Structure 1
Amino acid sequence: MSYTDGPLQVIPQVSAQLGYDDNIFATETNEVSSTKFILSPSVQLKAEKGLNEYSVNYQITDATYQDSSADNYTDHELSGRAYFDFNIRNRLELLAGYLKTHEDRGSGLNQGSNATANEVPVEYNVKSMQATYEFGGKEAKGRIKLVAGVQDREYDNFRAQTESKDRQTVKTSATFYYRVMPKTSLLFEVRNEDIDYDLTSVTLDSSERKYLLGAEWDATAKTSGTLKFGYSEKDFDSASRTDDDGLSWELAMRWSPKSYSVVDIATAKEAEETDGIGNYIDTTTFDIQWTHAWNDLLRTRIYYGLSESDYVSSDRKDDQTSYGLGVDYDMKRWLNFGMDYVYSERDSNQADLDYEKNTLYLTVQGSL
């Protein structure tokens, strides 16, 4: 349901989850379990003027642990979007966002035997802006997309530990698309990412560049996706850090053998910033999910995920695996029930970092 006043549309929603986690700190021994209640109301304001679109979104997520109240959290997310369709050849999208969130104890800066070193979760905020400009008609033989964005991350508590992780990231990219069939385009993309840490004593400042070839397709009613494959470089400002390069890829594909049955596949190889070990984390991920609609009201989901993390310049290597089952039931157009079970584990070559956990959630989601 929504409320409309002239060109303005107001769309409120709310989600409530009741769950159980048998290892909330993701530890190998002395696991702590807890039930968990998450309430997440949101509101979206939308407006359209001709082909132009404007929206503002706000969401608050409040979580309560029955058996570990120190891990309760309240996250906030505010975002805005403006889309301008100037003419058939020129389009511009502007995005801005503010996220105030946290790291669950047992993740991020505190893992394994250090999971509860801090008495509450680490909190941080992220401010971001991005502009995307496209030149060329959507059906033209060639078109260009230019992207520029900045993201500022700042930690809010435990500053003796977290101050060294404050950083600003500036991203730019240029992509050229060449249409070879009505719904298939080849592409060439160049990206640059400059990562600057606030403290001058931190030696992790770096630049990342990627050169990617690939394709974007929506060839039939059964398949669509984007594939990018190429070469990446990571160069550190400090001579004490070793520069690196290697292969990089991204795949996001959807296969729909039937209109009511969809398989989503995604895989990527990319560099992530370290939480304190090594120069950076060389991460490879693979995810697959099958969603099947048994009728207009009932859907099921089966998920499998795998990631391999190599902490470059250190000995640490992690393998993480997860799989899950889910079911959704649309009782009303505005009311949905869901249930999800997820098993996840980490296998590390470092002591105290292995873990296994099971989570079960019941979700009720509705529009007010």
Structure 2
Amino acid sequence: MSNTIKASVLAIAVSAASGSALAVEAMSMKIADGLEFTPTLKVTESYDDNFREVENNEESSWITRISPTLALTAYGRKSEYVLAYTADSDTFHSSHKDNNTDHHLTGDAGFRFNARNQLVLNAGYHKVEETTSATPGVQGDKYNSKNIGGVYTYGVETARAQIDFGADYKELRYDNTGLRSNGTRLNSEKERDATALRSTLYYRLGAKTRALAELRHTDYSYVSAKSLDATNLAFLGGLTWDATAKTTGTVKFGREKKEFDRNINDDQSGGMWEAGITWQPRTYSTFGLKARRALDEGENGASAIQATSTTLDWKHYWLDRVYSIASYTRSEQDYIDDTVNNRLDKTDIFGLGLNYEMRRWLDIGVGYKYAENDSNVVNESYERNIYSISFTASL
């Protein structure tokens, strides 16, 4: 199986199941020829001084998170399959009613039919409970999401041209059973299905640089809030390059339009961009930039949210097995058609961590994160500090 397909399958599986790449070099157990089992465990102890993200009457707690991940990998001559499960169990020592466990189950498969035809498939089920809430003492949202999709690639990456065809289907459902005073179910207006199609054409400009043109079509169908049914169309153009002048990255710029099925809300359009760039001036020091501007789905009375975010991070090895990570994120959320509040949120997040690769199978990390949200709506601003220590272990 090609390294491209194998890397794609493993990356999708890990990110979907655990939300981040594994820090340790996990060793797999061979169950049979072409079949491996990989368990990992992460334990985090943190202190959160505002775990509900509220402006007044903040609640704080020590929180213990235990996150085991189990991955089963099967290899074929031209295929690979990964089934992964992660549980995130949180114990709030000052608020036991908020104890919860999130479940993430993902399945991924990669196929290389021949040199010019490759296919990566993915599916997932996620059951999540949030502890943030607009009102102290109110239990956070509970929801589950399901997705299935894939990307078919025609052409060789080193050829003059290559094209991707992608499709994805997602369902979002809420498990909150409480009723409002008007008899409607809490969060029912957020439940939706999304069907997305994408096509990306790559054209080689040099040995390590390719131009790209991308077309996206996403159809949103809401279960009860039918006024939010809409179709998003986006066209993007840009560049992608690998290890050119010590940088690797992809940048895309274009426009996006959101057309509502009904005339209750105004159609929206505007500029859109996505960027991910890595710069490595030294083998032991890496800088990263991620930026995004797009129309997200609306909530709290808005028909859509114009979201803009930029993240800068720096990873630096001070010793062979000791490294730090510093990051800063700036984001803005402009709530469109929110005629009551005309809401605009501006959020700054600072993060700092120090990690020690104690053994091949064991990492120890300490971290601090500060978040501040500045909103023009009363009681929606907040400040939050999180201090943590974590242990990640494998075989």
Q: TM-score with structure 1 length normalisation?
A: 0.95
Alignment correspondent of 2:30: 4
Give the conservation status (yes or no) of the 8 Å contact 2:127–2:145: yes
Q: Is residue 70 of structure 1 aligned with residue 89 of structure 2?
A: no
- Determine if the alignment matches structure 1 residue 189 to structure 2 residue 214: yes
The AA in structure 2 aligned to 1:308 is E
* Residue 358 of structure 1 pairs with residue 385 of structure 2: yes
Give the aligned CA root-mean-square deviation in angstroms: 1.1
**Alignment of structure 1 residues 178-217 onto 2, 5 Å:** 178-199=203-224, 201-217=225-241
Alignment of 1:141 onto 2:160? yes
Cα offset, 1:165, TM superposition: 1.5
Q: Which runs of 5+ in 1 are unaligned?
A: none
Deviation of 1:318 after TM superposition, in Å, equals: 0.5
Deviations 1:303-354 (A, max 9, x none): 1000011001221001000101101101110000001100000001111111
Kindly indicate whether the alpha-carbon contact (under 8 Å) linking 1:122 and 1:158 is maintained by their aligned counterparts in 2.
no
CA contact (8 A) 1:184 1:219 kept: no
Question: How many corresponding residue pairs?
Answer: 359
Structure 1 segment 330-341 matched on structure 2, within 5 A: 330-341=357-368
Q: Is the 8 A contact 2:29 2:37 kept in 1?
A: yes
Query: Equivalences for 1:46-85 in 2 at 5 Å?
Result: 46-85=73-112
Given candidates 263, 276, 283, the residue that maps to 1:239 is 263
**Matching residue of 2:11:** none
Counterpart amino acid of residue 310 in structure 2: F
SS at 1:164 equivalent: helix
Contact 2:58 2:136 in 1 (8 A): no
Please give the alpha-carbon distance, in whole angstroms, between the structure 2 residues aligned to 1:122 and 1:349: 23
Is 169-178 or 218-227 further displaced after alignment?
218-227
Shift of 1:283: 0.4
1:319 match: secondary structure? strand
| AA partner of residue 196 (structure 1) | S
Residues 233, 96 of structure 1: alpha-carbon distance in 2 compared, 3 angstrom cutoff: same
* Cα distance in 2 for residues equivalent to 1:332 and 1:254: 27
Partner of 2:12: none
In 1, the alpha carbon distance for the partners of 2:235 and 2:69 equals 38
Measured after TM superposition, the shift of residue 115 of structure 1 is 4.4
Aligned residue number for residue 161 of structure 1: 186
Tell which deviates more after alignment, 278-287 or 216-225: 216-225
1:122 paired residue among 134, 141, 149 = 141
Q: 1:34 aligns with which of 61, 77, 82?
A: 61
1:283 pairs with one of 301, 307, 316:
307
- Deviating above 6 A after TM superposition, structure 1's stretches of 4 or more consecutive aligned residues are none
Unpaired segments ≥5 residues, structure 2:
1-26, 179-184
Would the aligned equivalents of 2:57 and 2:136 in 1 still touch at CA under 8 Å? Answer: no
Separation in 2, partners of 1:104, 1:210: 34
State percent identity of aligned pairs.
35
Deviation at 1:150, TM superposition (A): 0.1
1:255-278 Cα deviation digits (max 9, x unpaired):
001011001100000111122221
- CA distance in 1: counterparts of 2:330 and 2:204, whole angstroms: 33
Cα distance per residue 1:7-57 (max 9 Å; x no partner)? 111100000000000111111122111100000001111121124211110
Q: Which amino acid aligns with 1:270?
A: A
Aligned AA (2:305): I
- Give the structure with the higher percent strand: 1
Question: Is the 8 Å Cα contact of residues 314 and 325 (structure 2) preserved in structure 1?
Answer: yes
